[in-house]
C-alpha cells in the first residue's frame, strides 16, 4: 500500500484524454528523467465524438498551464472567441429578436459591492438585466472580439472562452503532449484488464504491446467507460427524470459568404422538444438539435433542424446530420480503487452551457493537483475527489434545469413536463423559494471553486423573466450606488465598441501574424 505512484496510464484520447495527459505531464515533469511517467493508450479505430465545440474561459488557463501557444491553437483548431451564450425563444417561444437574453462571461459591473437587482427592478426593469449591468452582451450583438491585436496571448479585455473544432483540438493536443510534454503514446486496442489480488488494476492487456502496467489509471474511454463502468461496474446515476434530452443531430454548415460575421457567443434556440445550438468557427458553423426522444421523433427533429438552418442563411441542400444518443447521468463514484474517470466515462448531461469540457478540465486539474504520492494516500484523495465531483455534477444539473423550469412556453408537452414538480430537483426548488425575496448570492454557493458563480444564476434567472416578490425584504437599498455601476457599464460599452475589432478581423490577424506572447 506504500508503493509510490510513478506511472499514470490514460486509456482513451480525444479532448478528455489528451487534456488529462497534458495537465498531468506538464505539472509533474514527465519529460524529466525523475518525473512522473504518463502513458496514453488510444484505439486507432475509435473516432472521437468530436461535437463538443464550446469551452468556458477556464480553457485559457488550461492551455497556458500546459504551455500551448494560443496563436497556434487558433490556427490549428479552427478556433474562435466565445464570450457567453445567447438564448432565443426560451422565455415564451417568441421571435429571436424579441425573446432572447444573454449569459455573458463577465461579472456584472460592481457585482458583490453593490445591490444591483432591486434598483434595476425599481428604476430600469424595462431593460434586460444583463444588458444593463454588463458590456459583454453588446459586444456579442455587434460581433466584437474580446481583445485587440496587441493584447498578449491568453490576456483579455473582455473575459472569453473558445469555440473550436473538437476533432482538430484532439490532434493538436496529442502533438503538443508528445513533442513538448514527454507523454508516451501507445496506439493499440485494450483487450483485457489484469488485476492485483487486492482488486486494483495491475495492467491493461493490449493487442500489439502486451501488458501495460501502471499505478493509476484514468478512464477516458467515452460513454462505454471501459474501466470504471465496464470492469468495476460502477453504475450510472440516470438523470433523464430531471433533464429529458437524450438525442442530438449535428451538422456542419458553410457561411453564406467568406466574410460573413463570426458570432461571439453560442446561440441556443429553443424548439418544441429541445433546442438548437449554433456555434461560429472561422470556416463554418457547427449546428445541432438536442431533443428528447420521449417528446419527438428523429424525423421531426431533423425537419426542425433543417428549418432552422434554412432560416439562418444555411444551404438548402444541407447534408444529412450525424445522429448521437446519450443517457443523461453521472457515475455513482468517479474514482474507485486506482481508476478515475474523466470526460464522458464519468457522465454526460447535455450540451447546454458547455459544461462537458469544463468538467474535464476541473477533473484533470484536481487529479494533478492532489496526485497521491502512494497507493495508501490514494484512498484519501479518491474520497475527496468523489465528494467534490458529486457536488459539481449536482450543481450542473440544477443550473441547466433552471433554464427549463422558468420557461413560460406552453406549446408542447416537453415544456410543460419540464415544469412539473416530479422533474424539479429539491435543492433547486428551495433556492427558487429563497430567490423570491433576494437574489442568488455567495450564501447559496459557498465553495471557493463553484462550477457556476452566483452571478451566472442571476443572469439566467432574470433573463428568463423571473421577478422577486420583494427584491431584498427589509435590506437597505442604495439606488445611487447602483446607478453609478449602470453608468459605468454603459461607458465601458461605448469605449469597447469603438476600440475592439470584429471577431473575423482579429481572427484573420491572428492567422497571419499571431498574438504577442505574455
pLDDT in tens, 403-418: 999 999 999 999 999 9
Higher pLDDT, 205 or 2: 205
**Which pLDDT tens digit goes with each residue over 127-157?**
999 999 999 999 999 999 999 999 999 999 9
pLDDT at 470 (0 to 100): 61
pLDDT tens column, 482-502? 999 999 999 999 999 999 999
| Alpha-helical regions (H) of 144-237 | 166-180
Q: Which residues on adjacent β-strands are paired with residue 340?
A: 218, 335
Q: What is the Cα Rg of the chain in Å? A: 23
Note the pLDDT of residue 52.
59
pLDDT class of 45 with cuts at 50, 70, 90: confident
Q: 190 a known binding residue?
A: yes
Q: Please indicate if the annotation marks 212 as binding a ligand.
A: no
14 among annotated binding-site residues: yes
Contacts of 425 (CB under 8 A, 6+ apart): 242, 394, 397, 398, 401
Q: Write down the pTM of the prediction.
A: 0.96
Domain ranges of the chain: 7-53+165-240+328-395
Classify 151 as helix, strand or coil.
coil
Q: Of the candidates 402, 383, 398, which has an alpha carbon nearest to the alpha carbon of residue 461?
A: 402
405 carries a ligand binding annotation:
no
Q: How far apart are the first and last CA of the chain?
A: 43
Q: Which residues are catalytic?
A: 82
CATH top class, domain 7-53+165-240+328-395? alpha beta
In the predicted structure, residue 473 carries a pLDDT above the cut 80: no
Question: Do 210 and 225 meet the contact criterion of CB atoms below 8 Å apart?
Answer: no
Alpha carbon distance 442, 450 (integer Å) = 10
**CA angle at residue 26 from 20 to 29, to 5 degrees?**
125
Residue 311's pLDDT is what?
Answer: 96
Q: Which residue has the cell 485559457?
A: 60
* Side-chain-side CA neighbours of residue 174 (13 Å): 19
Looking at residue 47, what is its pLDDT?
67
Provide the pLDDT for residue 518.
Answer: 81
Indicate whether 1 pLDDT > 80: no
The answer to the question of whether 179 is labelled as a binding residue is no
DSSP H/E element including 373: none
Which pLDDT score, from 0 to 100, does residue 186 have?
98
pLDDT in tens, 199-225: 999 999 999 999 999 999 999 999 999
Percent of the chain residues topping a pLDDT of 70: 97
Q: Note the pLDDT of residue 271.
A: 98
Specify the 3-state DSSP secondary structure of 374. Answer: strand
Amino acid at each position: 500500500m506504500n508503493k509510490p505512484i510513478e506511472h499514470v496510464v490514460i486509456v482513451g484520447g480525444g479532448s478528455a484524454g489528451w487534456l488529462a495527459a497534458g495537465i498531468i505531464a506538464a505539472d509533474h515533469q514527465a519529460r524529466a528523467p525523475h518525473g512522473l511517467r504518463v502513458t496514453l493508450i488510444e484505439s486507432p479505430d475509435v473516432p472521437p465524438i468530436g461535437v463538443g465545440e464550446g469551452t468556458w474561459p477556464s480553457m485559457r488557463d488550461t492551455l497556458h498551464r500546459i504551455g500551448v501557444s494560443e496563436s497556434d491553437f487558433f490556427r490549428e483548431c479552427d478556433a474562435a472567441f466565445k464570450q457567453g451564450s445567447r438564448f432565443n425563444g426560451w422565455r415564451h417561444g417568441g421571435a429571436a429578436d424579441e425573446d432572447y437574453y444573454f449569459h455573458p462571461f463577465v461579472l456584472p459591473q460592481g457585482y458583490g459591492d453593490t445591490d444591483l437587482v432591486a434598483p434595476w427592478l425599481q428604476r430600469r426593469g424595462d431593460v434586460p438585466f444583463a444588458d444593463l449591468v454588463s458590456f459583454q452582451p453588446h459586444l456579442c450583438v455587434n460581433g466584437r472580439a474580446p481583445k485587440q491585436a496587441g493584447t498578449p496571448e491568453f490576456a483579455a479585455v473582455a473575459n472569453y472562452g473558445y469555440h473550436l473544432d473538437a476533432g482538430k483540438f484532439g490532434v493538436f493536443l496529442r502533438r503538443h503532449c508528445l513533442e513538448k510534454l514527454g507523454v508516451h503514446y501507445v496506439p493499440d486496442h485494450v483487450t483485457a484488464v489484469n488485476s492485483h489480488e487486492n482488486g486494483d488494476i495491475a495492467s491493461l492487456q493490449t493487442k500489439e504491446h502486451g501488458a501495460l502496467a501502471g499505478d493509476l489509471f484514468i478512464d477516458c474511454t467515452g460513454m462505454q467507460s471501459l474501466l470504471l463502468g465496464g470492469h468495476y461496474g460502477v453504475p450510472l446515476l440516470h438523470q433523464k427524470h430531471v433533464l429529458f434530452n437524450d438525442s442530438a443531430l449535428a451538422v456542419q454548415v458553410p457561411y453564406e459568404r467568406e466574410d460573413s460575421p463570426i458570432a461571439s457567443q453560442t446561440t441556443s434556440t429553443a424548439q418544441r422538444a429541445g433546442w438548437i445550438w449554433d456555434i461560429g468557427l472561422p470556416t463554418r458553423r457547427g449546428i445541432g438539435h438536442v431533443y428528447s426522444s420521449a417528446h419527438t421523433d428523429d424525423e421531426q427533429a431533423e425537419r426542425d433542424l433543417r428549418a432552422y438552418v434554412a432560416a439562418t442563411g444555411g444551404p438548402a441542400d444541407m447534408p444529412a446530420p450525424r445522429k448521437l444518443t446519450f443517457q443523461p447521468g453521472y457515475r455513482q463514484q468517479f474514482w474507485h480503487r486506482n481508476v478515475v474517470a474523466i470526460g464522458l466515462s464519468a457522465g454526460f448531461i447535455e450540451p447546454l452551457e458547455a459544461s462537458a469540457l469544463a468538467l474535464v478540465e476541473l477533473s484533470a486539474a484536481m487529479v494533478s493537483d492532489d496526485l497521491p504520492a502512494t497507493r495508501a494516500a490514494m484512498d484519501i484523495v479518491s474520497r475527496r475527489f468523489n465528494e467534490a465531483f458529486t457536488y459539481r455534477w449536482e450543481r450542473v444539473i440544477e443550473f441547466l434545469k433552471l433554464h427549463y423550469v422558468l420557461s413560460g412556453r406552453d406549446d408542447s408537452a416537453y415544456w410543460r413536463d419540464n415544469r412539473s414538480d416530479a422533474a424539479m430537483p429539491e435543492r433547486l426548488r428551495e433556492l427558487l423559494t429563497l430567490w423570491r425575496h433576494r437574489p442568488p448570492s455567495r450564501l447559496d454557493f459557498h465553495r471557493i471553486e463553484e462550477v457556476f458563480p452566483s452571478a451566472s444564476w442571476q443572469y439566467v434567472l432574470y433573463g428568463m423573466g423571473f421577478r422577486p416578490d420583494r427584491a431584498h425584504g427589509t435590506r437597505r437599498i442604495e439606488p445611487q450606488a447602483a446607478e453609478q455601476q449602470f453608468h459605468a457599464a454603459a461607458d465601458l460599452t461605448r469605449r469597447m465598441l469603438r476600440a475592439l475589432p470584429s471577431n473575423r478581423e482579429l481572427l484573420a490577424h491572428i492567422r497571419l501574424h499571431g498574438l504577442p506572447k505574455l
